[in-house]
Structure 1
Amino acid sequence: MASQGPQKLEEKLVCSICLEMFGTAVTMPCGHNFCMKCINNHWDKEEKEASLDKKDYTCPDCRQRFKKRLELRKNVALCSVVELIRSEEVQASSTERKTPANGARCSRHGQPLKLYCQEDKMCICCMCTVKECRDHHSILFEEERKRKEDSSERLKSGILQKFVHLMKELEECERGAVDKIEQEQATALGQVEENWSQLQDHLAMLTQHQQKAQELLTCVDNMKFLEEFLLLPSPSSLGVLPAVEFNVASTMDSTAKILTEVSKLLLEDLPNSLNPKAADAETKESTEPKVPAVVKAGPALPECELRAELLRDHQNLTFDPDTANKYLQLSNQNQKAKHTHSPDGLCEDHADRFELWQVLCSQSYSQGRHYWEVRISSHSIILGVTYKKIQRKKQAGRSFSIGLDGLSWGLQIREDCYLAWHKGQSHKIMEPLYKCLGVSLDYGTGILSFYGIGDKMKLLHSFHCVFTEPLYPVFWLCEGRTITLCQQN
């Protein structure tokens, strides 16, 4: 009940014309109070609307008429009360423009909180609607809650329907792609069976001809031999059989490109959109200039949960000496490669040998999950994976071929940043220089990831692809650089 006193007092201090607390309060002879400005404006309006011979002035509350325009004076006592109320309200407003903790009543006016101001995003009382929130849009609590709940349900329903539709379309695309591959496979197998049938028929004919020839050779009668030899038909030529083609990768190239984009959208962009703070932090961190630094990895690498998981798929690699450029010296049982200043004079020419400063590993992968780690001496090195038919010859203006076509994917380690290469396009990554790097390949899902290993493990970049051929680890080394393939027991 104590809180109703100030509230009732404030109601008595409101001008019935402007619905605000009195400015300069004046009192009419009839006892009603108004702002001096408001009552004068009221009378000015009455003067304009009245005829010249009939002018009278009324009280807006009780409509009492006065023949002459009154000269009203400031009600000093009433103005003092208004000023006192205003000073208390100013002090309270500095800390009370928040939703009340147990918002049963408005802390400014003492009335029950029944409305929600959509502009100020706060709970208000009826007095707030004629004062602070007079021009704002306000609704009942129940309506605002229902509006928010309905909006949330519509959004959830829309998202669920979109996911259901996308999954249905993906299933249709999956069936279409599988049917296409099976159709190509059936066509190729059908051609193989037809060729095999022709070979079988030709073999039977040749066998029959061989038998007749052998029988003729056993004939001792020369005249009979000569007569039957003339009747012996010569075997017909089989001719060139139709080629068996099964190059479904080229026919599914457009589908592979779409799946690559879908993979990135689902595995990177969508999770970032659901967690915008993390995505914004990562974007901000990547765009801010960084001072180049070297993260030194000692003999003992960090044992974190991510690395422990990746090491389950670790593969011990070795360099393939038949592919190594003649300036790349292999040692330590082909586990270490160094770019020397002079070529290896004993290096034999080989069809697989790179003219570029590159080398493949002997191991290749066409299924499953695999992980390997390398140590590098410095920057100016590229590591990645490639199909075996990667470009080996030198081309004008190019010092490497990793990532410059659709056959390979690479990460270039530069002094101040990293460049992720594929199809001749690069993506810049602002991270410090790591001396130890990890490569994770999930062939089935088409994800190739590169990690920096220092005090902690950092994902540098991921490629999303559809792999169609066996993949070989590949490396490029600038002059004086060294790469060591890490081995696990």
Structure 2
Amino acid sequence: MDSAAINEELICAVCRDVFVEPVTLPCGHNYCNECVNQLKKSALGTTARGRSHYTCPLCLAPCETEIELKKNVVLHNIIEKICQQQLQPGANVFCSVCKGQQRAPAEKTCVSCGESYCSLHIMPHLENKFFLQHVLVSPTAETNRLCRDHGKELELYCKTDSTPLCVYCMLPSETKHLAGHDVVKLAEARHIVKEECLDKLGNIKENLSQVQGSLQKLDETASCSKDALEKQQQGYIGFLKKVKLFIDIEEKAWEKRFSVAKLQESGLIKHKAEKLEQLQTKLQEAVSAMEKALSNQDPVTLLQANEEITLDPKTAHPQLKINNELNTVVATREQSMEEPDCESSSSWFCVLGTGAFSTGLHCWEVTVRGLPSWAVGVAYRSISRDPPDSKLGSNDKAWALSYSKSRQHFCAQHNLLMYSFSVNKTPDKIGLFLDNDSGVLSFYDADLLECLYTFYCSFKAPVYPAFCPKFEKDTEFVTEAMRVRKSILF
């Protein structure tokens, strides 16, 4: 009997592996002890007259589960001796296919497959035509150092194809690496490959440096874009807040008008019809104006906030100094030379704007930071220039909001109407919102966008912006100037 047949007799019919702790059934067939235990477990559900049994996988002979099987000592010793005989130099390479605790030593190693096989599992390579071209060598674990075509140790290196070779690859019958190919020893190739790797490493580092530079530039660009977007966002938010403030002012103005109309209607029964007709006329005009304004989709045109506000030197007090751009005024101790046609006030430090407002919506801002006392508002052109009526807001031709640092309070005044109040934080910039058609004049903190006071009036003539950088005569002269500018929406 040849070795293949002997090895086949040492294989368990259940697990198809070499016997491990073999036991013998009453029928004479041998199996691994663990395989028999599995057969017993699978047969626990099968009973016959109260006695369970299982069958032999080979001859189907019944075997009682209560029988205690004996270990086949002879078969176990034979397997031990065969394994000891196979433990020779190179026998520490085991079969790659065998499973279990006792893997058989490899008899051959296939260089083409990169696997080792025992005498049983090598049979397909010896019998199957598909595997006839595979190269079989003595058992070895280092198949990567053998030539896949000849099974010999790799000793040469082809620089042309970047392929390791054995000496058989250089035979005349092997023409792949002969004509025009540069073949060197494998030891020399190590330095060549190392130099090539160093060159590639340098290129990779250079490319990596370029990529890192590009990433840094991309981060800088993203940061700049983010800052620009945040700045633009803040601009739009400020614009929307200002529009909301103007809408709130208009809403409160109309609430006041309707409230006054209701009180007048209840108090003056006799003139009810006449009053209602007048109110109806005003409401129709206001609705027409509001519908015309709402039909305009451009917020800049709606608010008319881009018109320039300039100062008229002809209306300035002799001790007021106005810059060349006509947008800044400061009170000084020295008197300026008045022009022959000067319309300036002789007592109060006031100056009017050059443009008159007779219809539409208007808004402008005045910087009052550092001024101990000031006043801003609107006035008719015919406002008195002589005391005591030349004080801004003291007559029926001007509407003004003034501030006194010494008293720490504001005062809204028109003729005999006077209202004093205080705020938590003194504004650095005062905004004015004028609705000629509705008769609304509102003062607000231009930084916090908080309404300070609103006049509800009826203008009988065009009004001019009015400015007073020194409202109280006993206050000191300061270098800070009152600056006028249009309302910035964006």
When the two structures are superposed, what TM-score results if normalisation uses the length of structure 2?
0.36
When the two structures are superposed, what TM-score results if normalisation uses the length of structure 1?
0.37
Where is the helix percentage greater, Structure 1 or Structure 2? 1
